[in-house]
Structure 1
């Protein structure tokens, strides 16, 4: 049995706390709001996220990060990616020596263009081989409902990856290990951008051919960027690439796809934000991913058009025309 801290009581953090508890660990969730922490501690329910889920008794909660991190072997971080740097300064001093830091986040930091594992290493002073990434087709509501799924634990230290694998293996979640942290993180970040595009297509009334085209060509541009950054191209054919992409682009449970639907129906970024009331990671990450593509000279036309719709006010129909009128080429 391990002691685990989950920093972030959103949907995925809450569902992952359940996974850890079901796998035999003691879990403390850190919640920003006292009423959420009290409800989890006393009623075993998160009233704001997945309120129908009754959490195991092995899960408790606190608003004090020091309490959550006290003696934790596993430190799991599940917050919006653009808030990570600000939070790490307060949290890192409470990390247990040699604790494994597990990132559930799928984004690229604006400005620095760092992946989340790189940011943890830099801002928390953690050795790279202590950082693991959990990614894949991980829609929180389905995992909370114990629907069978698989995930990937990526870490440069294969022994540590195997320890995390054992710590989260349950009868409904099957984890695999992978040492390609770069590829696994990029797959998780870029698929959010492609899911926005698929949502826009759905919002405009387009069918499965359009969405399949976006997913396939989106995977191609993800792999191009990954290879430029040193990833194994085969990673993108697995759970962290194709698996996560299909789930996020296809499911109405996907925040990014749903956000994209609002944009496809002609709503502004502000209107889509007001309607969905949650963080769609791809909206901010598309800026950083576009900048990464420019930095490494990688062509990413779908990402470029999503960024223009989200941040330059481009009509999604104009973006479609721009994609369809590109110069013909070999696949």
Structure 2
């Protein structure tokens, strides 16, 4: 099978298309013939070496943490998924490949009336949004939430899930992303390039940090006592959280088909719509990663086989 691999940390030029053996599923795994995967920031951090102290990897390494496609083979202990099913899934790595073996626990049937490209673009965002808002955030109706970076691939899904849960959503974006997040239901929109978000949001029940850096640091005072600051991009500050009397947590979303199933029901009821910025071929993986690194995209880049 064909797969994108790298043998050393570096820039996108280390990504190489190789011909390797097709894997066989273990007892609890399914073998998926991949139709689409997407570019996630985690893939880029893995490739650059930014995560090597936290997520050690072995070379050669196949990146990729989501996939959609058809199940071609199942392990002896698999009971929920069958051969021929069209599925989408999250994985720790390995989806930049024609075939991938993924634990059944993180695999779900694709939503109705959703293409395989769209399903791939939904997998990580649905899983992550649930992990933030439901699992860690316990978000309730009428709570005030600020989402930083709401026009990105994960941000658009976090925004829509927050609205589906009944929250009052304030969201940041720039350029064409402003109209996008308005169309997705944001109650208030902040242009982070021309507006100081600290002057437009306070007494928040929750901040979802999808940006990091100074943006996160400036957000602690905006959360009311007992509220939450949740980030998927950088560790939170225990000292600042204690100073402001809030709960701050770095979220590492663990894959689970139940999270995908929860999001899938909202997709089927048109409460969540996926946003795809661009569709490219797997042979363009390096260029696609560079586009994501450059920023400014609204939605996900999908890679097709």
TM range (shorter): under 0.3
TM-score w.r.t. structure 2 length? Answer: 0.27
Structure with the largest fraction of strand: 2
Greater relative contact order (Cα < 8 A, sep 6+): 2
Structure with the largest fraction of helix: 1
